[in-house]
Amino acid sequence: MSREIFVVARDRPDLYRYLSQTFADADNVQVILDRRSPESRETPGSDRRGRPNVEHDLRSVGYAFITIP
């Protein structure tokens, strides 16, 4: 079973609470706040896991959705 992760922007605690409550009973879904420091987010291409859309999604919609097979 794949694992689904919502990474929520730090400035969206409302969205974090909503997603955490919505997926509380889902075994394969994890909701986390973005823990990266502001300095590490400023470096272009610094996404070490090869997911360049994460930063864009965090800024534009407030969360990034990642599937881990």
CA atoms within 13 A on the CB side of 14: 2
Residue 55: pLDDT band (50, 70, 90) is confident
Q: Please give the backbone phi and psi of residue 66, each rounded to the nearest 5 degrees, phi first.
A: -125, 135
Q: For 21-35, how does the pLDDT look when each residue is reduced to its tens digit (9 = 90+)?
A: 999 999 999 999 998
CA atoms within 13 A on the CB side of 66: 19
CA distance 4 to 66: 6
pTM exceeds 0.85 for this model = no
